[in-house]
């Protein structure tokens, strides 16, 4: 057992191990000018531990070849490691079978896969698709494209002033034409955790399949796709301490088998002639061409790293950070937190009276504090609150209360510069 595992076992909270955890992330030692980096942009992309970096290097230096297509040693090793990574993802989300895990280039690609593979086959003129007001553009635009093509209709679940879905209104949107639900597990703009289990059950009672956008959830909450009973669940590695360019689509086997392929090419076929092509079985039917093999293996390593710490411990510690940061931010005059759901991950969106979020982000950067400003690819959320943008601090298990203090000090400096 490693030193970190021993410390984790002996403690009740990650707080006691956070220095040890931070030592795993070389990038956290960076200086921005003469200030220490305070990285609070984890909802956009999290950082990569040395363990994952080393795994990528080991793959490239000793294991790389193209997969699935040769009998030579390196190709067999690479194929084996790629399929091991798939099984790590399977166990991470408790999928029933490894073939239910499709490697994609990320969340956006996975949603587009479902739109093309499921939506274009099964959604017809006059059918209705339910989305929510909390969706990222990735879970809006593909469905709009489909609706335009098929003359289908999009219905939107509204939210209240705390940024919570109005579940009663969701239930009222169902009718005989409802064919599909697309629903985010966690809002990237506000941090709201949605009651997806109940919402999935409601849709299933009416025979309607549900896609869950787990991009903001998978790094922060334990996800069990069998317990949730969702038809599809999608997320990207780069928000889970893994590489960019890789993510997964989980789909129930019977749904994936019924779907048409999204991309054509090598590996996704069983036989090809100019008269007729037959497709491979799942998951390969949806993995045309050479996949990002190194990234998939790195994703597997990131899953090992996170699982070693434990998602329950991560969720508990990040909640401590959220509570502390919310308390400190909410007493600063002129600061308004947007999104006050009782059920949130450690994402805080806020506005400052008389100061544009872009200026907040720029000045905080001078203090070494990295946050994100803008509409966060969730313009409908901004429209709902009648604001163009917010500043968003998003936390990970390697952040500390000292870093929350650095954010608060930075905000005081912003106030002084702009309002005095």
Each residue 126-165 as x (binds ligand PLP by CB under 6 A) or -, in order, gives ----------x-xx--------------------------
Considering the rule CB under 6 A, would residue 213 count as an interface residue with ligand PLP?
A: yes
377 flagged as catalytic: yes
Q: Which of 79, 45, 50 is nearest to 237 (CA)?
A: 45
Q: Structure tokens of 54?
A: 């080393």
Considering the rule CB under 6 A, would residue 340 count as an interface residue with ligand PLP?
A: no
For ligand PLP, the closer of residues 138 and 349 by Cβ is 138
Q: How far is the CB of 234 from ligand PLP (least distance, A)?
A: 8
Helices and strands, number each (H, E), in the chain: 16, 17
Within 42-81, which residues bind ligand PLP (CB under 6 A)?
none
Give the separation between CA 244 and CA 105, rounded to whole angstroms: 8
Of the ranges 26-34, 103-111, 150-158, 290-298, which one interacts with ligand PLP (CB under 6 A)?
Answer: 103-111
Contacts of 296 (CB under 8 A, 6+ apart): 82, 85, 86, 103, 246
User: Which stretches does DSSP call E strand in 273-353?
Assistant: 277-279, 335-338, 347-352
Considering the rule CB under 6 A, would residue 106 count as an interface residue with ligand PLP?
A: yes
Considering the rule CB under 6 A, would residue 215 count as an interface residue with ligand PLP?
A: yes
**42, 90, 178, 216: which one binds ligand PLP (CB under 6 A):** 216
Q: How far is the CB of 11 from ligand PLP (least distance, A)?
A: 30
Instruction: Return the number of other C-beta atoms located less than 10 Å from residue 319's C-beta.
Output: 15
Q: Which of 346, 337, 344 is nearest to 318 (CA)?
A: 346
Considering the rule CB under 6 A, would residue 182 count as an interface residue with ligand PLP?
A: no
Considering the rule CB under 6 A, would residue 236 count as an interface residue with ligand PLP?
A: yes
Angle between helices 401-419 and 357-366 (to 10 degrees): 120
Considering the rule CB under 6 A, would residue 107 count as an interface residue with ligand PLP?
A: yes
SS3 221: coil
Which residues of this chain interact with ligand PLP, rule CB under 6 A? 106-108, 136, 138-139, 184, 188, 213, 215-216, 236
């Amino acid at each position: 057992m490693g030193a970190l595992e021993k410390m984790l076992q002996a403690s009740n909270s990650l707080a006691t191990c956070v220095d040890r955890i931070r030592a795993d992330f070389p990038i956290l030692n960076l200086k921005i000018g003469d200030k220490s980096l305070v990285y609070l942009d984890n909802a956009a992309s999290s950082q990569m531990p040395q363990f994952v970096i080393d795994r990528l290097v080991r793959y490239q230096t000793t294991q790389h070849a193209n997969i699935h297509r040769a009998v030579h040693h390196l190709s067999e090793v690479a194929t084996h490691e790629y399929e091991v990574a798939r099984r790590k993802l399977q166990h991470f989300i408790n999928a029933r079978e490894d073939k239910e895990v499709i490697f994609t280039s990320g969340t956006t690609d996975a949603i587009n896969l479902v739109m093309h593979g499921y939506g274009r086959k099964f959604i017809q003129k006059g059918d209705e698709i339910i989305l929510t007001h909390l969706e990222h553009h990735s879970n809006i635009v593909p469905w709009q494209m489909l609706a335009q093509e098929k003359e289908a209709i999009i219905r939107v679940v509204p939210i209240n002033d705390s940024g919570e879905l109005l579940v009663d209104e969701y239930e009222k949107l169902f009718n005989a034409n409802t064919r599909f639900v697309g629903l985010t597990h966690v809002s990237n703009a506000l941090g709201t955790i949605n009651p997806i289990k109940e919402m999935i059950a409601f849709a299933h009672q009416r025979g309607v399949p549900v896609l869950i956008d787990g991009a903001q959830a998978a790094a922060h909450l334990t996800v069990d796709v069998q317990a949730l009973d969702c038809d599809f669940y999608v997320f990207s590695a780069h928000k889970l301490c893994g590489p960019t360019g890789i993510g997964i689509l989980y789909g129930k086997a019977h749904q994936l088998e019924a779907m048409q392929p999204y991309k054509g090419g090598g590996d996704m076929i069983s036989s090809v002639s100019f008269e007729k092509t037959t497709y491979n079985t799942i998951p390969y039917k949806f993995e045309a061409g050479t996949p990002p093999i190194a990234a998939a293996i790195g994703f597997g390593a990131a899953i090992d790293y996170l699982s070693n710490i434990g998602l329950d411990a991560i969720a508990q510690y990040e909640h401590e950070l959220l509570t502390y940061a919310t308390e400190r931010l909410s007493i600063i005059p002129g600061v308004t937190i947007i999104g006050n759901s009782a059920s949130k991950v450690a994402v805080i969106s806020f506005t400052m009276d008389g100061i544009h979020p872009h200026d907040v982000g720029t000045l905080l950067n001078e203090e070494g504090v990295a946050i994100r400003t803008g509409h966060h690819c969730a313009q409908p959320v901004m429209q709902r609150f009648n604001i163009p943008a917010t500043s968003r601090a998003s936390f990970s298990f390697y952040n500390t209360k000292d870093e929350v203090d650095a954010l608060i000090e930075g905000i005081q400096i912003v106030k002084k510069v702009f309002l005095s």
